[in-house]
């Protein structure tokens, strides 16, 4: 069975006219001999409106009922897509997660799909129908609705591709693919034709909003090739695939950045084993993610300084937890929300010496001061003053010749 999974994001189903357009896209694959499985997000803005309603009811809205509420948006879009296809003479049926069923690990708001029962959808396809599956949702072992986190419809599509052995998985969105950096920030940004799972995962985790990071991880683990493309124009998109399928010799594939970071520095903490763990344990217990970490070498063997970054929305809670932590002592606590993180990503840097030098030299030429540095096998991130973000992106884009992307 030549199955193809087509996922449409919130902007692609954002209006009735756009839903009519994507119905024609689905039909075009049907005419090519494919058996389409459509995965739909909620219409753009719908989920945010539902979240506002929950907050109007309670600041501590029940997590299970929150999932029931926010999963309702996909039901609307699925019904409209199926209705349009039926109108055009193509049998179609909408399916909610609980009807299939799609089984998750049970965690509310951040579930992962563990199984999809195929019988109902396969029967639907064999009857010549086009199934329209609600993304972003499933049910746990207690038959309660669970959701997959922001952008979770991507994960729904990837896992449908896995369980139904799809020949292709295409993510339709409002952009033409993955770009070397945000084209809204840098007009010279170029569309990337092919990118590895690892590079895409780093870019998504570091600020690129094209796909949900966990869905890319699911694709990598299950070796599912993805194409990201626009539902608004008929152009090739970006293919996300295995490293060995890359043919470009680019050292750096792209640049990501975030502007919602905060820098926290503890001055004069005791330099002894276990002190860092004592600082970070309460943050971990309160679901605060620590990103970049730098500890200075102790000058006297007794005291040192520790700097780390978190999301700016977690700053107030972090300050409170540090100040009431009786297991640590320090002379001064300094915080800074006026920072951003800029990262270069590319598997090519693994075997290429001098990338770090080129990055730092390019920033130095533009008089951009680096506050914190962190690295991985295929990524170098630097923390900067927020006002220097655009300047840094332009300098790095030029240094690594990303405006000449092929």
Report pLDDT digits (tens) over 210-242: 888 889 999 999 999 999 999 999 999 999 999
Whether residue 23 sits in one domain with residue 169 = yes
Distant-in-sequence, close-in-space partners of 56: CB < 8 Å, separation ≥ 6? none
Whether residue 274 sits in one domain with residue 145 = no
Whether residue 274 sits in one domain with residue 133 = no
Given a contact cutoff of 8 angstroms between Cβ atoms, the answer to whether 34 and 169 are in contact is: no
Backbone angles phi and psi of 266, in degrees to 5: -105, 120
154 inside domain:
yes
Render pLDDT for 155-193 as a digit per residue (tens, 0 to 9). Answer: 999 999 999 999 899 999 998 999 999 988 899 999 999
Given a contact cutoff of 8 angstroms between Cβ atoms, the answer to whether 339 and 262 are in contact is: yes
Pure H helices in 191-272: 197-205, 213-222
Give the domain CATH number at 309.
3.30.70.260
45 inside domain:
yes
> Given a cut of 60, is residue 406 above it in pLDDT?
no
Render pLDDT for 4-51 as a digit per residue (tens, 0 to 9). Answer: 999 999 999 999 999 999 999 999 999 999 999 999 999 999 999 999
Render pLDDT for 371-391 as a digit per residue (tens, 0 to 9). Answer: 999 999 999 999 999 999 999
* Domain range enclosing 132: 3-174
How many independent structural domains does the chain possess? 2
Look over the chain and give the mean of its residue pLDDT values, rounded to a whole number. Answer: 93
Q: Tell which of 153, 174, 195 closes a domain.
A: 174
Q: Which two tokens stand for residue 255?
A: 């640049």
The pLDDT score that the predictor gives to residue 247 is: 65
The whole-angstrom separation of Cα 178 and Cα 202 is: 13
Give the domain CATH number at 66.
3.40.1160.10
pLDDT band for position 255 (50/70/90)?
very high
The whole-angstrom separation of Cα 402 and Cα 253 is: 7
The whole-angstrom separation of Cα 129 and Cα 162 is: 20
The pLDDT score that the predictor gives to residue 405 is: 62
The pLDDT score that the predictor gives to residue 398 is: 95
384 inside domain:
no
Whether residue 11 sits in one domain with residue 149 = yes
Whether residue 293 sits in one domain with residue 150 = no
Secondary structure letter of residue 224 according to DSSP: -
> Given a cut of 90, is residue 207 above it in pLDDT?
no
> Given a cut of 80, is residue 245 above it in pLDDT?
no
> Given a cut of 90, is residue 107 above it in pLDDT?
no
């Amino acid at each position: 069975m030549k199955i193809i999974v087509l996922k449409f994001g919130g902007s692609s189903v954002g209006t009735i006219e756009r839903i009519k357009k994507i119905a024609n896209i689905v039909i075009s694959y049907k005419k090519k001999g494919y058996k389409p499985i459509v995965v739909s997000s909620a219409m753009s803005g719908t989920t945010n409106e539902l979240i506002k309603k929950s907050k109007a009811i309670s600041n501590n809205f029940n997590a299970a009922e929150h999932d029931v509420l926010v999963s309702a948006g996909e039901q609307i879009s699925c019904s409209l897509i199926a209705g349009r296809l039926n109108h055009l003479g193509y049998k179609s049926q909408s399916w909610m997660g609980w009807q299939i069923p799609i089984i998750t690990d049970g965690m509310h708001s951040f579930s992962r799909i563990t199984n999809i029962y195929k019988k109902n959808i396969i029967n639907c396809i064999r009857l010549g129908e086009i199934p329209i599956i609600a993304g972003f949702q499933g049910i746990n072992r207690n038959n309660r609705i669970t959701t997959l986190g922001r952008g979770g419809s991507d994960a729904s599509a990837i896992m449908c591709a896995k369980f139904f052995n799809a020949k292709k998985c295409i993510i339709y969105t409002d952009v033409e693919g993955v770009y070397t950096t945000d084209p809204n920030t840098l007009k010279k940004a170029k569309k990337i034709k092919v990118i590895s799972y690892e590079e895409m995962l780093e870019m998504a985790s570091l600020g690129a909003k094209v796909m949900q990071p966990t869905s890319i991880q699911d694709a990598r683990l299950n070796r599912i090739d993805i194409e990201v493309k626009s539902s608004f124009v008929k152009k090739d998109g970006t293919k996300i695939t295995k490293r060995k399928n890359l043919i470009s010799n680019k050292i750096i594939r792209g640049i990501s950045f975030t502007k919602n970071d905060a820098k926290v520095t503890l001055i004069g903490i005791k330099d002894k084993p276990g002190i860092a763990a004592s600082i970070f344990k309460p943050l971990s217990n309160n679901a605060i993610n620590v990103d970049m970490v730098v500890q200075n070498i102790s000058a006297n063997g007794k005291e040192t300084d520790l700097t780390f970054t978190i999301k700016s929305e977690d700053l107030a809670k972090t300050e409170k937890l540090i100040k009431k932590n009786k297991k640590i002592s320090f002379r001064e606590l300094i915080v800074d929300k006026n920072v951003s993180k800029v990262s270069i990503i590319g598997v090519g840097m693994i075997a290429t010496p001098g990338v770090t030098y080129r990055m730092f030299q390019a920033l130095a030429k533009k008089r951009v001061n680096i506050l914190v540095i962190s690295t991985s096998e295929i990524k170098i991130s630097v923390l900067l003053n927020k006002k220097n973000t655009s300047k840094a992106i332009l300098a790095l884009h030029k240094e690594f010749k990303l405006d000449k992307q092929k």
